[in-house]
């Protein structure tokens, strides 16, 4: 059991990193990574929402969709769940934890449209994970996203002062460095816990 959990975590953070090997959530990855501060905020919000969404979607899938034989509706149902969940979490945080709310700020509502969140719940179904495994996969997937975006933001902060060809100014140099980071993460592929 424990090895299974560790395997899932390592897989989600390193070998099957959501951004670098599954190419999910690339939009916030490029959009929110100009500063380490904002990248950390976005990463935290994603961890939070991915964990919660995994838990709730598992419940909906197992106790509503499977008994009624409506598993083909999972994408639709999960989108509904995620959208409602993000709204709910936003309201809850605003009232109960204003400091966290202001720290996450604009990133929380932005996550509604993050495909990595939908990706994680769909992969939970595909991999036949149980409740605990789903939540672990969600949280660690979020951590992997955070690792990637914080790493990339640090790289971008350095690139700003680097001497690179002028025609690469802006997005081109970002995409090139993102590609190099993804290549580096390929070094983890093939790692397995038996």
Partner 1 sequence: MNTILLSVLVLGVLGAVFGCVLAVASRVFHVEVDPREAAVREALAGANCGGCGYPGCDGYAKAVAAGEAPCNKCVAGGAATAAKVAEIMGVSAGETERQVAFVPCSGCTDVAEARFNYTGPEDCRAAMLFGGKSNKLCTFACIGLGNCVKACQFDAMHIVNGIAQSDRTKCVGCGACVDACPKSIVQLIPESQKIMVGCRNQDKGAQVMKICKVGCIGCMKCQRECPSDAIHVENFVAKIDPSKCVQCGHCTEVCPRHIIHTLKP
Interacting residue ranges for partner 1, rule: CB under 8 A = 60, 64-65, 68-70, 73, 76-77, 80-81, 84, 87-88, 91-92, 94-96
Pick between residue 35 and residue 158 the one whose CB is nearest to partner 1: 35
**Nearer to partner 1 by C-beta: 29 or 48?**
48
Q: With respect to partner 1, which residue has the nearer C-beta, 88 or 164?
A: 88
Provide the 3-class DSSP secondary structure of residue 20. Answer: coil
Output the smallest distance, CB 117 to partner 1, in A: 16
What's the distance, CA 43 to chain centroid?
A: 8
Q: Give the pair of three-digit tokens for residue 27.
A: 């939009």
Q: Is 101 exposed, middle or buried (0-12, 13-18, 19+ CB in 10 A)?
A: middle
Report the alpha-carbon distance of residue 31 to residue 24 in Å, rounded.
14
Q: How far is the CB of 88 from partner 1 (least distance, A)?
A: 6
- Residue 98 or 179: the one with the smaller Cβ distance to partner 1 is 98
**Residues 13, 43: Cα–Cα separation, whole Å:** 13
Rounded least distance, CB 165 to partner 1, Å? 21
Report angle CA 141, 58, 135 to the nearest 5 degrees: 35
Smallest gap from Cβ 163 to partner 1, in A, equals: 22
């Amino acid at each position: 059991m424990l090895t299974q959990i560790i395997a899932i975590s390592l897989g989600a953070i390193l070998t099957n990193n959501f951004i670098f090997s599954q190419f999910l959530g690339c939009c916030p990855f490029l959009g929110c990574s100009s500063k380490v501060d904002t990248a950390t905020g976005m990463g935290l919000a994603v961890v939070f929402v991915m964990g919660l969404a995994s838990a709730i979607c598992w419940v909906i899938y197992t106790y509503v969709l499977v008994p009624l034989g409506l598993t083909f509706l999972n994408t639709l149902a999960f989108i509904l769940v995620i959208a409602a969940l993000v709204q709910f979490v936003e309201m809850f945080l605003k009232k109960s934890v204003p400091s966290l709310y202001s720290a996450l700020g604009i990133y929380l509502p932005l996550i509604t449209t993050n495909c990595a969140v939908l990706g994680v719940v769909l992969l939970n179904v595909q991999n036949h994970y149980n409740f605990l495994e789903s939540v672990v996969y969600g949280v660690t997937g979020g951590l992997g996203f955070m690792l990637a975006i914080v790493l990339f933001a640090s790289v971008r902060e350095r690139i700003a002062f680097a001497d690179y060809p002028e025609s690469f100014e802006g997005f081109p140099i970002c995409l090139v460095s993102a590609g190099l980071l993804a290549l580096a993460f390929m070094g983890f592929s093939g790692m397995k816990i038996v």
